[in-house]
A = this chain, B = another copy of it.
Amino acid sequence: MAKIVQCVPNFSEGRDKDIIEKIVEEVRKVEGTKLLDYAPDKDHNRCVVTFIGDPSAVKEAAFNLCKKASELIDMSKHSGEHPRMGATDVIPLIPISEVTMDECIDMSKELGEKIGNELGISVFLYEKSASATHRSNLAKVRKGQYEGMNEKMKEEMWKPDFGPIELNTKSGVTAVGARMPLVAFNVNLDTNDLKIANKIARGIRGSSGGLKYCKAIGIEIKERDIVQVSMNMVDYTKTPLFRVFDLIEREANRYGVNVIGSEIIGLLPTAALINCADYYLKLEDFSDEQLLEKRIYE
């Protein structure tokens, strides 16, 4: 397979279809990218765009999208329920295939610098790209939102990584950063007892002592009269799907409950499933290079 990076920019317009189309069009125009989805939200007055492509095409498309948003959106007039700080609020870059996290971090720095220099927009690097640990969490970077950014950026701790220290009043501030892909993975149990799903969720999730890169809650699936352990796997390379699945099965057995199925919501990298096959089949020395599809895009 070729080098593939996913990019999920969020921009601050969810109501004006004409503006939304013009901004999204910037992605379609760049050869080597594929627009997968864009979801405008009226209440949030915000739009989440998902596209993939080779690294240089993705960088170009992300910059052009940000440029177009800076032309068409005026943050001084923006309102919406979702926290936001810029016309292009955040640009996550996600390694999918044949691309390392370090490459995505480098991309994010180049992209951030270009946005800062050429568009005159203040840029914070966040997540894996953050220049300091307190800048890693997007919610913390965005705290104070658009209205508070001019003051915030004067603090030494919150000096932007690129672009002006003074707020660009029209375009606001943009966060750019590399992060792992999220895999939404749910496991269904043959009980309708939500307490059991929640006990299992607490046992397996990183925040309460379980597997580090797993977030989990118990939820009810009323139409099937069952409960589910609903998860976000935030780094499938370090907390793989098979490990969380096997652990849930064991924990469920302790309550006399069985796993009856699982589901993956939305998209995921092929490698997140190949490593499960590798584990269950006990493969010795398997390499991705043995996948025929991979060979054609070398």
Is the CB–CB distance between B280 and A276 below 8 Å? yes
Neighbouring B residues of A262 by C-beta, 8 Å: 281-284
Most chain B beta-carbon contacts within 10 A, residue among A1, A34, A295 = A295
Neighbouring B residues of A292 by C-beta, 8 Å: 4, 6, 52, 96-97, 181, 267-270
Distance, CA A81 to CA B228, complexed state (A) = 62
Given A188-B284, A263-B286: A36 in contact with B295 (beta carbons within 8 A)? yes
Size of A's binding interface in residues, CB under 8 A: 46
A288 to chain B, nearest CB (A): 9
Distance, CA A122 to CA B53, complexed state (A) = 46
Neighbouring B residues of A274 by C-beta, 8 Å: 270, 273-274, 277
Neighbouring B residues of A97 by C-beta, 8 Å: 292-293
Q: Is A261's beta carbon under 8 Å from chain B?
A: yes
Q: Is A259's beta carbon under 8 Å from chain B?
A: yes
Q: Is A156's beta carbon under 8 Å from chain B?
A: no
Neighbouring B residues of A281 by C-beta, 8 Å: 241-242, 245, 262, 273, 276
Distance, CA A268 to CA B289, complexed state (A) = 10
A57 to chain B, nearest CB (A): 10
Neighbouring B residues of A2 by C-beta, 8 Å: 296
Can you list 20 contacts pairing A with B, beta carbon distance less than 8 Å?
Answer: A2-B296, A4-B293, A4-B296, A6-B292, A52-B295, A52-B296, A53-B296, A96-B292, A245-B280, A245-B281, A259-B282, A260-B282, A261-B282, A268-B290, A269-B292, A270-B270, A270-B291, A270-B293, A273-B274, A273-B277
